Structure 1
Amino acid sequence: MDHRPTRTTPFHRTRVPLRALILALVVAFVPVAALAASSGQGTSQGNQAKDSKGMTVTLSPSSRTVDQGQSVTFTVAATSTGGFAGPVTFAVAGLPAGATASQSPSLVNLTSGSTAQVTLTVATATTTPATKTDFTIKASSGTTMSNTAPGQLQVLEVKRNFGVSGSVVGLLAPGVSRGVDLQINNTNNKSIAVTNLSVQISQVVRTPAAVAANLPCTAADYHIAQYTGSYPLTVEPGTSSLSRLNVPPGKWPQLKMLDTAQLQDGCKGATLKLTYSGTGQAN
């Protein structure tokens, strides 16, 4: 008796449901895994939002250029994040030497989700180095700190010309000193702070008679004491002088003819040509 038909029929009937069951399980597990991944991502974002409670700071514009001795302004915006609320102050670091910073207003109160702006004024001095400097500003409220916003300040050297001249008050004679009342001509439309003045003898012009007689007279027969007054001298636009600036005559440069044992007849009637120089800074 042949038993093969009886064995074949049950075997094929049991394999088909087994494959269907495996596929059904795979389909069922995929959505569950995706749901778990999605749930974990949402939790991470929630923690991140909770941890970001505080404030952010931006600076506009990020870079400014200013002349030495002048001021420039920036706009600082502080924004509440994560529901932060409270009083906020600002601090600037990294400014060049001689430069100072101030904010108006100096303090702002942030409410949840709000933004407040302050004006940052950076004032430079006439001695501030002419260079490009990176600085930073950040906000704080108790132990809560903002990000550090970068900024850049470029300070330009101010070059302005002014003239210096002078005249000796009175005649010279051996052993006699005369003051030189220096005149300062400021052709700029702003005041200048003069920080140095000097006088030199550039030439001694003898009379024709002294030249004919071959009588010598040189700069070695004279001595110059330089200006001893205080600096800086603030000179407004226009022409001024040491006397107009109320500098005592004893502080002026002094020109003296030396009283030597050698014959100085060649210096009688001689004319001295003087050169003047000065430096300063624009205000």
Structure 2
Amino acid sequence: MAAAAETGPRRVGFVGAGRMAEAIAQGLIRAGKVEAQYVLASAPTDRNLCHFRALGCRTTHSNHEVLQSCSLVIFATKPHVLPAVLAEVAPVVTTEHILVSVAAGVPLSTMEELLPPGARVLRVSPNLPCVVQEGAMVLARGRHAGNSEAELLQTLLEACGQCEEVPEAQVDTHTGLSGSGVAFVCAFSEALAEGAIKMGMPSGLAYRIAAQTLLGTAKMLLQKGQHPAQLRTDVCTPGGTTIYGLHALEQGGLRAAAMSAVEAATRRAKEMRKWRG
């Protein structure tokens, strides 16, 4: 592989310009990690590229141009499209490139098979709250990506939320816990609000308070480093309202249902990986 030419400020490329790509780009730019003028995004049509232009980024319809202009390239295509895209750009991949996939279900081994020997590849599993820079992300590195590549990517992605390195085997679990978990939490938030609506609270107010309750609780858990059981105990007083409510949740099987939901989503992620691999 020939060396790619990149001098001056770091340039970040996006192959695929959907909502997740836009969220990551927005986080990088807002946090000052990368200047908008040094971000280049490609997509087959202008439908999503307009969002990148609104951020001040450059756009193109050529995937090759992204690889030729940027050493750090994030592939944010649909999972079933990624193998064909990797095969397309393989001839212009160089020893200087760091190639990152956010496509679910496409393993590092598949990426390495489709790219030149020694290509430095990593996988990132993001979730939708990256849109508001509160994402929960994990990354896994390929055989030829070292500490410097992983640390660089982690530092950049922390502009979009929390990012931790894990073995690739845990990426599917993250998908079930955090990727799909956004929907699980929304279902719970909706149910909390509907309980208040049933008791006479206006719906708009109920939904706002439910969302704020989730936000505040999450911040306390993260900032204090507490186990959820400890915070639950702090809220629960003998004979009080909370223990009565918790009893009702236990009768409804909340814990078992939540555990089963994460298990089912994780198993599905593994099935999709095998199918695509």
When normalised by structure 2's length, the TM-score is: 0.22
Report which of the two has the higher share of strand: 1
Report which of the two has the higher share of helix: 2
Larger Rg: 1
When normalised by structure 1's length, the TM-score is: 0.22
